[in-house]
Copies of this chain bind each other. A is one copy, B any other.
Amino acid sequence: MALIVHKYGGTSMGSTERIKNVALRVAKWHDAGYQIVVVPSAMSGETNRLLGMAKELMAQPDPREMDMLASTGEQVSVALLAMALKAIGKDAVSYAGWQVAIKTDSAFTKARIQSIDDAKVRNDLDAGRIVIITGFQGVDADGNIATLGRGGSDTSAVAVAVAMKAEECLIFTDVDGVYTTDPRVVTDARRLKTVTFEEMLEMASLGSKVLQIRSVEFAGNYKMPTRVLSSMTDPMLPLEIEARSGTLISFEEDTNMEHAAITGIAFNRDEAKITVLGVPDRPGIAYQILGPVADANIEVDMIIQNQSVAGKTDFTFTVARGEYQRSMEVLNGSVKEHIGAGSIAGDAKVSKVSVVGVGMRSHVGIASQMFRTLSEEGINILMISTSEIKISVLIDEKYMELAVRALHKAFELESA
């Protein structure tokens, strides 16, 4: 009997009424003959409620205790969902991560799954039960609860699917799939029927926050077919339709020669750019600039260093806008003097726009088409960075929506 893993997000689990809908949907799949494992998130708002209390007690809550606290949110969800299933006549059993031996390392609040023991779950499934497992958490070698970080339930679901050799992992969420770009910016953005996991990685990391990026990596590493689909449809929607809805993350490049070069336009509005001017061009200078920034736990995104002129160069990088002030303080504090830089300049009102697609590997001219389109709209490019399947540009924040719309049209993403 084919095994399917269902994952439901916090909004889908947001109230007892919604949990009843989840139960109806799960029961429908079970009635159709599938073995089902469900991985639900905490009810929406719950994790924030718990974190709020923690912060009232400790400005930086202790990570081990934070995991002890936060993991309760998912435990509440699994128990309630088991009750909702039993109430409609389905045999169901819930487990916390430690009960089915989801083993993790001890990196509290950002742990990684090391192994899952499938024996217990397999027994329940063979006995006809629906098994519900807490997302987001596992247990370390010393028996401490460790959580996987925000959005970790996606990763749990994919990891459980891999461990159980599931046929497919269905991520039910409050959007109905992955789009060519954000439909709130481009009204004729098109839902993608499939997307490669590499494209999904770039889309996820570039701000299309449909799936936690680690779950996509996990799906990619183990080639687990993973589908993003809506939990907001009628739970009695015929299974034949539901099973083909949403967006499938696939592991084979489309062999169709006519495949569009570009799959989607990703963007991130809230970036900030910092330039260290007049830096002596000598070995180790990049580390001397970014080391203190990394030490302050600030994540750096794009990094550019240009050809030096007369032994001096300019060094530019971007950070999330919320980290801009702190980054400037770090640089002005000691770094500037230490490295003998001329000055520090910054701009906290920039955005990143990226075109993404595995097709660009075999299509020349994507970059020039992108730059021409932006140029025709009078948009100045502040920074450029590329990978094999994406090109990102940094632009003035005020042009972001214009850029996304123009690129979406230029690459004809509105038509299938």
Q: How far is the CB of A27 from chain B (nearest CB, A)?
A: 14
Whether the pair A53, B69 counts as a contact (CB closer than 8 A) is no
Whether the pair B61, A83 counts as a contact (CB closer than 8 A) is yes
Given A68-B94, A72-B72, A75-B68, A82 and B62 contact (CB-CB distance below 8 Å): yes
- Inter-chain CA distance A76–B56, complex, in Å, is 14
**Which one of A62, A79, A96 has the highest number of Cβ atoms from chain B below 10 Å of its Cβ?**
A79
Whether the pair B76, A62 counts as a contact (CB closer than 8 A) is no
Taking A65-B82, A75-B75 as known contacts, 8 extra A-B pairs with beta carbons closer than 8 A to each other, sorted by chain A number, are A54-B79, A57-B83, A57-B87, A64-B93, A65-B83, A66-B83, A71-B75, A99-B144
The verdict on A19 contacting chain B, using a C-beta distance below 8 Å, is yes
Partner of A79, one of B69, B75, B93, B99: B69
* Residue in chain B with minimal CB distance to A69: B79
Whether the pair A62, B86 counts as a contact (CB closer than 8 A) is yes
Q: How far is the CB of A61 from chain B (nearest CB, A)?
A: 6
- Inter-chain CA distance A61–B81, complex, in Å, is 11
- Inter-chain CA distance A94–B98, complex, in Å, is 16
The verdict on A219 contacting chain B, using a C-beta distance below 8 Å, is no
The verdict on A160 contacting chain B, using a C-beta distance below 8 Å, is no
Whether the pair B58, A87 counts as a contact (CB closer than 8 A) is yes
Given A62-B82, A83-B62, A98-B98, A20 and B57 contact (CB-CB distance below 8 Å): yes
Provide the residues of chain B in CB contact with A75, threshold 8 Å. Answer: 68-69, 71-72, 75
Given A79-B66, A143-B99, A84 and B72 contact (CB-CB distance below 8 Å): no
The verdict on A80 contacting chain B, using a C-beta distance below 8 Å, is yes
Residues 134-191 of A at the B interface (beta carbon under 8 Å): 143-145
- Count residues of chain A with CB under 8 A from any CB of chain B: 36
The verdict on A16 contacting chain B, using a C-beta distance below 8 Å, is yes
- Inter-chain CA distance A96–B58, complex, in Å, is 21
Given A62-B86, A65-B86, A72-B72, A19 and B57 contact (CB-CB distance below 8 Å): yes
* Residue in chain B with minimal CB distance to A76: B72
* Residue in chain B with minimal CB distance to A94: B68
Q: Is the interface of A mostly helix, strand, loop or mixed?
A: helix
Whether the pair A68, B57 counts as a contact (CB closer than 8 A) is no
Whether the pair B62, A80 counts as a contact (CB closer than 8 A) is no
**Which one of A50, A61, A68 has the highest number of Cβ atoms from chain B below 10 Å of its Cβ?**
A68
- Inter-chain CA distance A68–B78, complex, in Å, is 8
User: What would be 22 A-B contacts, judged by CB atoms less than 8 Å apart?
Assistant: A16-B56, A16-B57, A20-B57, A54-B79, A54-B83, A57-B80, A58-B83, A58-B84, A58-B86, A62-B83, A62-B86, A65-B83, A66-B79, A66-B83, A68-B78, A68-B82, A68-B96, A69-B75, A69-B83, A72-B72, A98-B98, A99-B143
* Residue in chain B with minimal CB distance to A54: B83
* Residue in chain B with minimal CB distance to A99: B143
Residues 26-65 of A at the B interface (beta carbon under 8 Å): 50, 53-54, 56-58, 61-62, 64-65
Encode A341-382 as 1/0 by CB contact (under 8 A) with B: 000000000000000000000000000000000000000000
Provide the residues of chain B in CB contact with A65, threshold 8 Å. Answer: 79-80, 82-83, 86, 94
* Residue in chain B with minimal CB distance to A64: B93
Encode A308-350 as 1/0 by CB contact (under 8 A) with B: 0000000000000000000000000000000000000000000
Given A58-B86, A75-B72, A16 and B53 contact (CB-CB distance below 8 Å): yes
- Inter-chain CA distance A82–B94, complex, in Å, is 27
Provide the residues of chain B in CB contact with A80, threshold 8 Å. Answer: 53-54, 57, 65, 69
Provide the residues of chain B in CB contact with A53, threshold 8 Å. Answer: 16, 76, 80
Provide the residues of chain B in CB contact with A61, threshold 8 Å. Answer: 83
Provide the residues of chain B in CB contact with A98, threshold 8 Å. Answer: 98
Q: How far is the CB of A300 from chain B (nearest CB, A)?
A: 30
Residues 70-120 of A at the B interface (beta carbon under 8 Å): 71-72, 75-76, 78-80, 82-84, 86-87, 93-94, 96, 98-99
